[in-house]
Structure 1
Amino acid sequence: MALNILICILLIPGIAARYPRSAEGELRHFLLNQENHSPRDRPVLNASDTVVVGLDVEFYAMLDLNEKDQILTTASWLTMTWTDERMSWDPSNFSGVDLIHMYVDEIWIPKIFLSNSLSEEALGIVNSERGSILLTSNGHVHLGAPVVQSTQCHIIITYFPFDTQLCPFHYIPETMLAHQMYFYIAPPKNERTLYSNQWDLLNVTVFSGVFPVEEFVEGRHIDYYTLGSVCVHLRRDPTYYITALLLPSTFLCVMSFVTFLAPPDSGERISLGVSMVLGLTVFQLLIVDTLPSSSKTPPIIGTYLTATFILACLAVPFSLANIAVAYGDRRLWILKYTLFRNILLEKLPNIFCTPTYSDRIHIVPIVVKPQPLFNKRDEVITLSTTEGAPKTNQVAPLPPTPSPPPSPGRQTEKLSASEKTQLEARTVALVMDRLFLLVFIFVFFAVTAYVIILFGQDPGRTEESCVI
């Protein structure tokens, strides 16, 4: 028994020597077991030296932009670079290894925060659960980490859906003064990496600088810190909103004007106008559900839809008023004046290509009484025969005398007062229909031109609003 234990003790060193530590393992052991090594200390040998940290942000997906809640969700790849003077070695001492992978919690890493992040987990862009570190022999550290960020983006929807938005990402390092850690954001290498079905990426701009902060620490009047911002300039693709919102609402508004072309006695005239109003109401609800409710500047498109909605609503009472005029029993008071009577009953109908009052009188059917077969000149002659027996014989009646054709004056005389009033009312109602149609179309085009001018005055978002 004792012999077996002795043999095992003698074989243990041989077994351990059979699996020697690799060069990377020796290098890791050398770097992490140096005297006074601590991942919490700044990676400099001289306390007066400054650690220069660079950040490169590369966006590769735009997950969502919620205009109502003003939240932008993006997926990006963050790369930070700096130099750790304590983490350098001679590759010839470690079998030529000049690159090694390290873990986030093994060496010092800068703590960078996204100040406008809406997620607590994404507030710190790097943590121990994600991130890969590459360390070179000269102490250069390269840290890369994928990050899904939800940030607050102030949406200005004045020029919706032809708007451009500027969404900032404010990166702030931990509480280190500028002479301790200088932080900057590298210019984007590839600006066309952000893909979205609704938005187009115009450009990505970066800002870095040193900013003074007063009384940040008690006893120190002014301290300087380095901050950085990344501005994503987006432009909305208006195709969907033009086809699904603007064109249908415009057609519905125009269709509400077409009701003036229907005759006053049409039973579907009012129902058609009400249907157009209900359709525009649906589009108003769609706009309200899409856009932010707390916007200080209302969208121009909302003004346009409101104006078209009001015009469509006004078309209904005007149609009712024309129907009331067409079927009124009393004579219109304005027709008592010769000037207005001539304008409404003769001039305007000719301009609008509608029957005038005189034309309506001429085409009124006149009932002519049938002429008798015998006129006053028909005579019965009695003849005497030679035998003395009286015998009567009737002469054939003469043809009736043709009557002269009725004149317009005679037709007017045969119309009653109520019939004249009805013809006048129908003529005026038809003229007012055409007049209202022209007025509504003119107002509609005026509103449309005004809205187009307002859209043309869009100054665009400037990058100045992106700077902290």
Structure 2
Amino acid sequence: TSLFYFFLNVYIFFYILKLQCMEGHSGPTYESMQAVFDLKEFRPAVNLSNPTITNISFTLYAVLGVNEKTQILTTFLWLRLYWHHEFLMWDPDECDGVTRLSLPVKELWSPDIIIYEFVDDDVSQACPYVYVNHTGHIRWDRMLRLVSACNLEIFSFPFDVQNCTFTFGSYMVSPALTFKEMSGNSKRYLAASGEWELVALLGETSILRFGIDEWDIIKFWVVIRRRPVLYVVNLLIPSSFLMIIDILSFYLPPHSVDRASFKMTLILGYTVFLLIMNDLLPSTANGTPIIGIYFSVCLALMVISLLETVIITNVLHHNSMKYKEVPHWVKIVVLKHIARLICYRSPENLASPTKPDKDKPNNLNSETSTLVYISASCLPGLALPELQQICEYVGELRSHLRSLQKESELQDQWCHVGYVLDFLLFRIYVMLISCYALVIICMWCIWISQG
């Protein structure tokens, strides 16, 4: 009963009378303001059946951080709330023309605004005052450091676009500005920010029901896009330089230069580069960015390039030193079909690697016979055993020359096979690198066209 009479007295006082002003003083009196402060626990409505609607708008000032591993977005907002306080009304003519006051927010009733995506405490500077005009309308500007949960997609990093939601809820809430106006204000302030830029700020209002309770909610979609110049300069361009050097290393002659040592040095340098730049790459358990896949594939291609060099070196030296003939199927597949496929033109000294010179053994025999004949005619005093010994020496010399000739032919044949394989693997290597480079370039062009 006492509570009923209390509200009845408050109702009569604020319905019939307004805030009192003292003659000779500006603004309402302290006593009348204190009476309002004593009612801060109650909603400021003379008739409790009348709703107190809170109008809300915000401006996105900065994107402070994006943590892909924990899926958290940290932003800085300037939140502005409007509502009507029916107890804070006065007549400006009676109050020396005062139409606006600033009052401590802790002494007044304030609406309960909940952000559903909030996952951490607000550590921003609090704004202690609200601004009230003589009609009872209040404006409260809040600086808000919003740490919110967001489903971050990093597959297209550093050309990614993130879409995060901010959901504001209360019993009676509505937007103070249109979503287009809020988006324009946010773009104007966020344009000077560092890594991120605002693409769009969209929103809608709806009603959320919990049993018999109904909550008004305003859902905002904040679409931000990363500026990739930093990552292109620090990651893609150095990686591209190393890959170009690795491609040019194929022009080193494999039979006279230690190409394998050069490629191993490149792989070591690329590994150190990835370790240094690892902090710039996002990490998450949900997926791997395509740039990480690109670096892994580039490293794998470098390893494949080194293995290709090892194979070519083995073909050029190991098989020829063992005097192994080139298999017939290798001649058909490599020297005929693959060479024709890659438009390979053999050098003049390797023009006929598979066709042996059949006249050379006959030449050796004729030269040996001539040498024996000359020896017999010029040295008539020599006995037959001496002539036989000379013939044996000449036969050994001929065998040695034939072995050198055979070794030279085998080296030419295996060298021909090695060069054909080297040209084939080089073209495959360049094709794979070009495909990955085109993917990155296309993604960058799409990012620029969306801007």
- The Cα shift of 1:85 comes to 0.9
CA distance, structure 2, for counterparts of residue 287 and residue 322 of structure 1: 33
Matched residue type, 2:147: S
Give the count of matched residue pairs.
Answer: 385
- 1:184-215 Cα offsets, whole Å, 9 max, x none, are 4633161321232211211222332211123x
**Corresponding residue for residue 242 of structure 2:** 252
Task: Tell me, yes or no, if the aligned pair for 1:74 and 1:150 is still in contact at 8 Å.
Answer: yes
The share of aligned pairs that are identical, in percent, is: 24
Contact 1:119/1:150, CA 8 A, preserved across alignment = yes
Q: Are the aligned partners of 2:335 and 2:420 in contact in 1 as well (CA < 8 Å)?
A: no
Structure 1 counterpart of 2:146:
149
Equivalence for 2:163: 166
Label 1:450 to 1:356 Cα distance change in 2 as closer, same or farther (>3 A).
farther
Q: Which residue of 1 aligns with 2:122?
A: 121
Q: Does 1:133 align with 2:130?
A: yes
**Aligned to 1:247, what secondary structure does the other structure show?**
helix
Which runs of 5 or more structure 2 residues have no equivalent in the other structure? 1-21, 358-366, 376-400
Q: 1:336 to 1:111 in 2, by over 3 A?
A: closer
Q: How does 1:233-382 map to 2 (within 5 A)?
A: 233-285=223-275, 289-328=279-318, 329=321, 330-335=323-328, 339=332, 343=336, 351-352=344-345, 354-358=347-351
Higher Rg of the two aligned structures: 1
Give the Cα separation in 1 of the matches to 2:216 and 2:338: 82
Q: 1:342 to 1:435 in 2, by over 3 A?
A: closer
State the match for 2:424 in structure 1: 435
Aligned residues of 2:326 and 2:414 also touching (Cα < 8 A): no
Structure with more relative contact order (C-alpha pairs < 8 Å, separation 6 or more) = 1
CA change 1:24–1:431 in 2 (3 A) is same
| Bigger proportion of residues as helix | 2
For 2:292 and 2:94, the matched residues in 1 are separated by 72
Q: Give the SS at the match of 2:336.
A: helix
Distance 2:97 2:146 in 1: 40
Normalising by structure 2, report the TM-score.
0.73
Q: Secondary structure at the match of 2:57?
A: strand
**Alpha-carbon shift at residue 38 of structure 1 (Å):** 0.3
Structure 2 CA distance for partners of 1:169 and 1:23, relative to 1, 3 Å: farther
> Which AA in structure 2 matches 1:91?
P
> Is residue 208 of structure 2 the alignment partner of residue 211 of structure 1?
yes
- 117 and 454 in structure 1: CA distance in 2 versus 1, 3 angstrom threshold: same
1:193 pairs with 2:189: yes
Does 1:78 find its partner at 2:67? no
For residues 23-34 of structure 1, the aligned pairs below 5 Å read 23-24=25-26, 26-33=28-35
Partner of 2:360: none
What root-mean-square deviation, in Å, do the aligned CA atoms of Structure 1 and Structure 2 show?
A: 4.0
Q: Is the 8 A contact 2:69 2:285 kept in 1?
A: no
**Which secondary structure does the structure 1 equivalent of 2:29 belong to?**
helix
Q: Secondary structure at the match of 1:92?
A: coil
Are the equivalent residues in 1 in contact too, given 2:342–2:424 (CA < 8 A)?
A: no
User: Which segment drifts farther, 416-425 or 253-262?
Assistant: 253-262
Cα distance in 1, alignment partners of residues 424 and 131 from structure 2: 79
Counterpart residue type for residue 53 of structure 1: T
Q: In structure 1, what is the Cα distance between the partners aligned to 2:167 and 2:51?
A: 22
User: Do the aligned partners of residues 113 and 23 (structure 1) sit closer, same or farther apart at CA in structure 2, a change above 3 Å counting?
Assistant: farther
Instruction: Name the amino acid aligned to 1:193.
Output: Y
Which stretch shifts more, 59-68 or 430-439? 59-68
Distance 2:274 2:40 in 1: 59
Whole-Å separation in 1 of the counterparts to 2:255 and 2:277:
36
- Report the Cα distance in structure 2 between the residues aligned to 1:160 and 1:337, rounded to whole angstroms: 45
Contact 1:83 1:139 in 2 (8 A): yes
Bigger mean CA deviation after superposition, 48-57 or 443-452: 443-452
Consecutive unaligned residues of structure 1, counting only runs of 5 or more, are 1-19, 215-221, 363-367, 377-411, 462-468
